[in-house]
Amino acid sequence: MSRLLLRNADGADPGGSWSRDPGDVQSAEGADRNQIARVGLRLFLVVVSSLFFLFLIAFIARSQMADWLPLTEPLAPLANLWQLWLNSAFLVFSCIALQWSRMAARQARLDATVIGFALGGVFAIAFLTGQLWVWQQFVAWGYFVASNPANSFFYLLTGLHGLHLLGGLIAWGIIVAKFLHRVPLSQLSAGVELCTTYWHYLLGLWFVLFALLASTPQTYEVIARFCGLR
Amino acid sequence: MAYAEQAETEALHEPKSFLTKYIWSQDHKVIAVQYSLTALFVGLIAVVLSDLMRMQIGFPGSLAFMDASTYYQAMTMHGMIMVIYLLTALFLGGFGNYLIPLMVGARDMVFPYVNMLSYWFYLLAVVVLLSSFFVPGGPTGAGWTLYPPQSISQGTPGVEWGIVLMLVSLAIFIVAATMGGLNYVTTVLQARTHGMTLFRMPLSVWGIFMASIMALLAFPALFVSAVMMLFDKLLGTSFFMPAMISLGQQLGHQGGSPILFQHLFWFFGHPEVYIVALPAFGLVSDLISTHARKNIFGYRMMVWAIIAIGVLSFVVWAHHMYVSGMNPYFGFFFAVTTLIIAVPTALKVYNWVLTLWRGDIHLTVPMLFALAFIVTFLVGGLTGLFLGNVIVDIPLSDTYFVVAHFHMVMGVAPVLVVFGGIYHWFPKVTGRMWNDTLGKLHFWITFLGTYAIFFPMHYLGFQGMPRRYYAYENYAFIPQSAQDLNAFITVVALTVGVSQLLFLFNLAWSAFKGKPAGSNPWGAASLEWQTPNTPPIHGNWGAKLPVVYRWAYDYSVPGIEQDFVPQTVSPEELEHMRQLSAGTQIADVKT
């Protein structure tokens, strides 16, 4: 027994898997700074996913209370979704433009990179403006933030999504300023890559939010039952 | 180009002025000290608050200003400060910042600017929190769990400003913790030096690494709760607030779910226990191994236990809510997961004990604190098994047994590691040794004192003494003997509180006047003790990054005279050391 217990206590180095090849320490397979930034961004997106996932769980749980008034009823603001579809189109165009910019940056085509990047930002601003327009419609129809939990969640979720995009636009603005100061493309392509990844993520997130906000109470009930919240 | 190689060739963000060196510093070591000093400062406030509470409990009416509202405000701020602003910040922001780059052989965190911002956001969170002492109505007195509807209902202290500042402060803190956490995780994943495999990392790094991942995933739950409660408070929404009549008036809220808040809060709250505990586990493993001159027992088991605890801690949260009303099957589920998480936790305790077994134990101050941690964590963990079971928890719920349990496991135990860790790494941070006598005095007063405080509370809890009461007189079910015990606890609490000045004096005095410590006073094998300069200078490693050839626990290796082998010793150098040792032994035999 004591031999078994001490077997692990003989000073053995457990270095092995999950390793930078301990047998050949000089050829470390590390990452460059761009890779580090990519990892950092992906981790951040995991955090944002956790945040929105918890909001969505809260949404589903709260939607099962009796006072929930769906926004998709015939006379409610989301009965007709054309405004949100229009905004979605802006965000899709924004992502397409940024993707074009990213591909151009990889091919070192400066003009196409700049144009695509600028267009991406402009479409994103259009999306945010469109979202504010939807908010204004809500207010005009008397759907205030505290009137009903469905309204509260609509403002909260679209607002938070918008804030994240606004944060992205700050990064976008910094890179645009660097373009204007004629910083070489090779130094900016990593930033373009990161912005594009972030935009794609926010587009995916927006469609999840859109699908949820535009769903019927029956759908919420099914999800709630599936999650054990009902 | 590999990051480690790139780090050797690139210029560092070398600080040029006093401001960039000590204030707006991007150096992980300076940021670690900033985090630690701020956390200790705010922790001292929490200690004073607890002593004020104890005065009211032990000697009711002895403080003229201590009315019910003040008592609840002190209680709330004490709890929140200790859990979030002291322990979380100190383990991740303090120890994490200092140790991760040094232990993995990096020059700094991978995002130094974000790291700096993380500290300043943390400081802002602290300032916002403390500002609630100076606003009309004072800080919130809702209890550290901030349960609605009471936390934002009239009659609760600090309902106008205090609760808003608390929630805003928490939101800012979470932003800070996220910036820090992204740095810690990415640095561990991407910036390890040559040869530093994940399974060669010291357990301190593993504990902080896993706790950072958990913080990144769990703090959003607190953020969601805080934002939604702010909406309820400021905009009149009804996320958590049900229909209520308050002070004779129907409120505008309707249909909200207070239980939803509890789920969100504890989905954060329970992982938070391990966000504090896992770094403590890691640090204490390194302390025990170093001061027992023995490699850590079951290293891989320890790593997998850390990972298992991290994962399991996300599926036990509702054991904090047995009395909130839940489906009995849920209660059964959460009781079972709670018992399961005890398995990897117990495994760690066994491994610490087996590390000590036949070790060359040096009862230094850090080691005393580490040993005290094991005992204390064991006691706190065992009472956790009581409370994890629904049938035992329900009668004990909201009694002093619970107060005793979480203070032992979540308060005293991690704080002992904080002290042990500070004493252990202080010589590296400052280049000087602390006063040993003062350190031992501090240890014995703190260790024995905390037991004298919290052991009797188990008994009080069994007697049915409820927690969160402002005054305990004139209750038929609380005997006079309980009051005598409360007076005793208060006297000890005041003594322990004042004795912390010994610690602060020792650190402050030794930082400037202590004996020079040398580069590796403990004879430790891990990388942070192998820096070319002590304290390490900006960039940590001079011109070349270190190369790692072994784990961090090569102590008392057979055939080597020196009782530790640093991680940077190559197999050739080790062979040379063996030959030298053999030669010395032959010479000894001849003489």
Q: Per the CB < 8 Å rule, is A31 touching B2? A: yes
User: Do B194 and A66 lie within an 8 Å CB cutoff?
Assistant: no
Establish whether the linkage from the previous residue to B535 is cis, with ω within 30° of 0: yes
| Cα–Cα distance, B289 to B198 (Å, whole number) | 19
Choose among B120, B100, B119: nearest CA to B110. B100
Q: For A21, which residue in chain B has the nearest alpha carbon?
A: B195
Percentage of chain A modeled with pLDDT above 90: 83
Q: What is the mean pLDDT of residues B407-427?
A: 97
Give the one of A17, A32, A61 whose C-beta lies nearest to B6's C-beta.
A32
pLDDT tens-digit series, residues A106-139: 999 999 999 999 999 999 999 999 999 999 999 9
Q: How many residues does chain B have?
A: 591
CA–CA distances in Å: residue B419 to residues B95, B367, B415: 11, 10, 6
pLDDT value for B5: 57
Give the A window 140-169 contacts with B, CB below 8 Å. Answer: 145-146, 149, 152, 156, 160
A40–B186: do the CB atoms touch at under 8 Å? yes
pLDDT band at residue B328 under the 50/70/90 scheme: confident
pLDDT at B8: 58
CB contact A50 to B (< 8 Å)? yes
Provide the pLDDT confidence category of residue A28 given band limits of 50, 70 and 90: very low
**What is the average pLDDT across B140-159?**
96
Distance from CA of B158 to the nearest CA of A (A): 23
Instruction: Residue B221: count other Cβ atoms within 10 Å of its Cβ.
Output: 28
C-alpha distance from B528 to closest chain A C-alpha (Å): 18
Taking the C-alpha atoms of residue A161 and residue A213, their distance in angstroms, rounded to an integer, is 13
> How far A93 CA lies from chain B's nearest CA (Å)?
30
The 10s digit of each residue's pLDDT in B5-14 is: 566 555 566 7
Put simply, the chain A residues between 82 and 141 with a CB less than 8 A from any chain B CB are none
Half-sphere exposure of B198 (CA within 13 A, CB side): 18
Residue carrying structure tokens 């709260």: A62
Query: Distance (Å) from the C-alpha of residue B548 to the closest C-alpha of chain A?
Result: 7
What's the pLDDT at B475?
A: 86
Pairs across A and B, CB distance < 8 A: 167
| CB-nearest partner of A20 from B196, B224, B254 | B196
ipTM of the complex: 0.92
Contact B297 A8 (CB under 8 A): yes
Measured CA angle at B204 (ends B200, B206), to 5 deg: 60
Checking if the pLDDT of B92 tops 60, the result is yes
Are B260 and A61 an interchain contact pair (Cβ–Cβ within 8 Å)? yes
- The answer to whether B280 and B370 are in contact (CB under 8 A) is no
Distances (CA, A) of B129 to A151, B88, B126, B205, B235: 31, 15, 5, 30, 21
Q: Assess whether the previous peptide bond of B571 is cis (omega < 30° from 0).
A: no
The overall pTM is greater than 0.90:
yes
Partner-chain contact A62 B239, CB within 8 Å: yes
Cα–Cα distance for residue pair B582/B106, rounded to 1 Å = 35
Q: Do B355 and A54 touch (CB under 8 A)?
A: no
Give the model's pLDDT for residue B2.
52
Three-state secondary structure call for residue B17: coil
Supply B88's token pair.
């979380």
| CB pair distance less than 8 Å for A16 and B550 | no
Please say whether the beta carbons of B35 and B93 come within 8 A: yes
A29 in contact with B, Cβ within 8 Å: yes
CB contact under 8 A, A40 and B299: no
* Cβ count near B494 (within 10 Å): 16
Residue B516: pLDDT band by 50, 70, 90 thresholds? very high
Q: Which residues of chain A neighbour B264 with C-beta distances below 8 Å?
A: 54, 58
Please calculate the CA angle B243-B244-B249 and round it to the nearest 5 degrees. Answer: 130
What is the DSSP-derived secondary structure letter of residue B511?
H
Give the range among A100-114, A132-146, A153-167, B325-339 with minimum mean pLDDT. B325-339
Q: Taking residues B163-184, report their average pLDDT.
A: 98
Weakest mean pLDDT among B158-172, B280-294, B459-473:
B459-473
Question: Which pLDDT value is given to residue B171?
Answer: 98
Mean of per-residue pLDDT scores for chain B: 94
> How many Å apart are CA B461 and CA B459, to the nearest integer?
5
Q: Determine which of A62, A64, A148, A161 to mutate to test the interface with B (most B C-beta atoms within 10 Å).
A: A62
DSSP letter for each residue of A103-154: HHHHTT-HHHHHHHHHHHHHHHHHHHHHHHHHHHHHHHTT--TTT-HHHHHH
Q: How confident is the model at residue B326 (pLDDT cuts 50, 70, 90)?
A: confident
Which of B195, B237, B300 has the CB atom closest to A20's CB atom? B195
Best mutation target among A4, A27, A50 (most B Cβ atoms within 10 Å) is A50
Out of A25, A40, A47, closest to residue B195 by CB:
A25
Mutation for testing the A interface, residue in B114, B198, B237 having most A CBs under 10 Å: B237
